Amino acid sequence: MVEIEFPRSFRIGGVYAMIVFDLDYEDLEYGYRLSGPYNPSRGLRFDHSKILSDPYARVLGGRDVWRAEPDWNNIYQHRSRLAFDDFDWEGDYPLETPIQDLVFYELHVRGFTAQSSSQVSAPGTYAGLREKIPYLKELGINCVELLPIYEFDEWENNRHHPETGELLLNYWGYSTVAFFAPKAGYAATGGLGMQVDELKTTIKELHRNGIEVVLDVVFNHTAEGDHRGPTISFRGIDNQAYYMLTPEGYYYNFSGCGNTLNCNHPVARNMVIDCLRYWASEYHIDGFRFDLASILGRDQSGAPLSNPPLLESLAFDPVLSKCKLIAEAWDAGGLYQVGSFPAYGRWAEWNGKYRDAIRRFIKGDEGVVEEMATRIQGSPDLYWYRGPTASTNFITCHDGFTLQDLVSFNGKHNEANGENNNDGGNDNNSWNCGWEGESTDPAVNELRTRQIKNAVTILMVSQGVPMILMGDEIGRTQKGNNNAYCHDNEYSWMDWTLAETNPCMLRFFQKLIAFRHAHPALRRNGFFAHRDIRGTGSADITFHGLRPFAPDYSAWSRCLAFMLSGPNASEPDDDIYIAMNMYWDALPFRVPRACNDSPWKIAINTSMPSPQDIFEQGGEPNLGNEEIVVGPRSIIVLTADTRSFKGEK
């Protein structure tokens, strides 16, 4: 090891630059030692005893192999390394799929294949994900949204499992150590320092299969935590620039994780932009989902800005112009901006209001039907100026219950997190279908299966961009844990044996996603005009109840039907009629006439057992009636072939 001092002649202003010749760049690890005043009340926390990692480090050593315990006595835990830009992309580029055509699949790189049941050669890695591409393709999704893959420290947790005593981890990784470096512990070749190549190879292969890659990025805080946290990089370089500080020199905690990145300080802002440009250009990333993005709209004292420079810069950045930008439009400081996020006509949002409305509707809450009519249109009340593609629709995500647990638990069961079940949200809008947790009662299980099908059917026929959580398609459970951030175990891992025990569920998801892809009427990039532009006799969307054109928006209503006019879609499509009955008894729905009196066919009926629950396109049975009985807590989807309609232009 060698330490080289910066001579005065190597500095201009606050910028230090030096070229060191004859280094072995393959094995080089480097860091910085900075001297300066330590005066926390003034926000200064220089520490000459620490070696700091480079905020722009492309590769980081120190956590090369997942869960390999580091040498805690090493004063330089996270060591900057060099990456090389010699990867052969073989003509690959970001796919630039129109966002309305995407179906997101949110997954954890490690959890997706960590369990031995995945039967991949390198469980829990980028390479393992690559081996599972055929599964994703067969499922029909065309975009994976990866939980954080920026370098983080899985050891950043000091809690223990209350029963087993096992040390819990930071498994999710929402605590960045290095923004430019991919997580080495997620690479089978991380021990060789080849995580960059392995990740790029996986991205290239995903692209070859028509699957985009969106990264969940965490710019709201860093792994340095509050004043008690470790000094890794930013704190020791320029604490005042990188962090929002209180007048007393402590850290604002709008992230709920100890500190808040000072995103609208020019230095931090440039780092964020540089970072995203780097991932878009160097890794061919197709888009970014910003964790607790509302923090990115706060000023240096934490006040929300009406015109946040960072969000505006990202919206109009030329390098990122084709990237999807998706905000989690709230933060832990109480700012909730779903529908009001500073979007510049560019940003999309995780639509938390969609999630809540669908959950309440399927569990049979009163007073939700009118809101449902808005949510399935892509939430025009929230995104009128942006269009329905601003709405990332989801019912479940990593944060909260899985879909199986949403219909199996009334309350969270987070005891294994070591916080006496105090962590995790309480506003789950879940219903256990009559029994808390796993059940052997066939009636309970049948209802749960139906509720899952109801949920995902609504998701796939809603305007906006749908997102599925890893494993929901096979009934993955976290045993009622709605905050599994710390579990590198069966709570979080995908259990691939479920694909064999739940083949009917998997089939339903596959056919349903294919149904969405087959129908452009479900994937509009503009809101409904509520007019009959093509002269079909029906507006682009019409709402119905038990009788045509008579939706029941009363507080006690639990059913709603709507019809999409195929000829009024962006490309010729079928008329599609969807009847949703969340009442606990069967209800008869009179069906409106399709364009040209085309006969209705039954595409989906969630009350039927597989394979009658969803039919292949072309194999749907005729309805043969003007009325259809929709079973208790069930959804029926009808289609009528109107593609040959020749109407007014």
Tokens 């069906």 identify what position?
591
Least CB distance to another protein at residue 253 (A): 39
Question: How far apart are the C-alpha atoms of 263 and 269, rounded to whole Å?
Answer: 5
Task: Return the structure tokens found at 337.
Answer: 């901006």
Note if 573 is an active site residue.
no
DSSP 236-292: HHHHHHHB-B-TTS-B--TTSSS--B-TTSHHHHHHHHHHHHHHHHHS---EEEETT
Nearer to another protein, 192 or 586 (CB): 192
- Give the interface segment with another protein, choosing from 184-192, 347-355, 523-531, 636-644 (CB under 8 A): 184-192
Which of 465, 450, 447, 475 shows the shortest CA–CA distance to 614? 450
User: Among 88, 96, 436, 446, which residue interacts with another protein (rule: CB under 8 A)?
Assistant: 88
Nearer to another protein, 5 or 90 (CB): 90
Catalytic one among 328, 371, 573, 641?
A: 328
Site for another protein in 26-65 (CB under 8 A): 26-27
**498 in helix, strand or coil?**
helix
Any residues with CB less than 8 A from the CB of 35 and at least 6 apart, and which? 46, 48
Do residues 172 and 417 lie in contact, with contact meaning Cβ atoms separated by under 8 Å? Answer: no
84 binding another protein? (CB under 8 A): yes
Burial class (CB in 10 A: 0-12, 13-18, 19+), 471: buried
Cis peptide before 388, with omega less than 30 degrees from 0?
Answer: no
Tokens 């010729």 identify what position?
572
Least CB distance to another protein at residue 31 (A): 18
Least CB distance to another protein at residue 182 (A): 13
Do residues 286 and 143 lie in contact, with contact meaning Cβ atoms separated by under 8 Å? Answer: yes
User: Among 43, 193, 287, 424, which residue interacts with another protein (rule: CB under 8 A)?
Assistant: 193
C-alpha distances in Å from residue 325, one per residue of 147, 204, 350, 467: 15, 21, 11, 15
User: Among 188, 215, 325, 458, which residue interacts with another protein (rule: CB under 8 A)?
Assistant: 188
192 binding another protein? (CB under 8 A): yes
283 binding another protein? (CB under 8 A): no
Question: How far apart are the C-alpha atoms of 643 and 574, rounded to whole Å?
Answer: 6
Least CB distance to another protein at residue 213 (A): 15
Site for another protein in 310-349 (CB under 8 A): none
Note if 291 is an active site residue.
yes
User: Among 100, 170, 201, 414, which residue interacts with another protein (rule: CB under 8 A)?
Assistant: 201
Least CB distance to another protein at residue 110 (A): 15
86 binding another protein? (CB under 8 A): yes
Total chain residues near another protein (CB under 8 A) = 24
**373 in helix, strand or coil?**
helix
Task: Return the structure tokens found at 112.
Answer: 């997706």
163 binding another protein? (CB under 8 A): no
200 binding another protein? (CB under 8 A): yes
Catalytic one among 291, 331, 488, 540?
A: 291
Instruction: Strands of 541-640 (E only): list them.
Output: 541-544, 559-564, 575-581, 587-590, 601-605, 627-630, 634-640
User: Among 145, 198, 405, 574, which residue interacts with another protein (rule: CB under 8 A)?
Assistant: 198
Least CB distance to another protein at residue 25 (A): 9
121 binding another protein? (CB under 8 A): yes
Least CB distance to another protein at residue 233 (A): 24
What are φ and ψ of residue 623, in 5° steps?
-75, -45
629 binding another protein? (CB under 8 A): no
124 binding another protein? (CB under 8 A): no
Least CB distance to another protein at residue 93 (A): 16
Site for another protein in 219-258 (CB under 8 A): none
CB burial string 120-159: b at 16+ within 10 A, e below: bebbbbbbbbbbbbeebeebbbbbbbbbbbbbbbbbbbee
DSSP 75-127: S--SEEE--------TT-------GGG--EEEE-HHHHH-SGGG--SSTTSHH
**26 in helix, strand or coil?**
coil
111 binding another protein? (CB under 8 A): no
Least CB distance to another protein at residue 211 (A): 16
197 binding another protein? (CB under 8 A): yes
138 binding another protein? (CB under 8 A): no
22 binding another protein? (CB under 8 A): no
Active centre residues (catalytic): 291, 328
Judged by the rule CB under 8 A, the positions of this chain that interact with another protein are: 24, 26-27, 84, 86-88, 90, 121-122, 125-127, 187-189, 192-194, 197-198, 200-201, 204
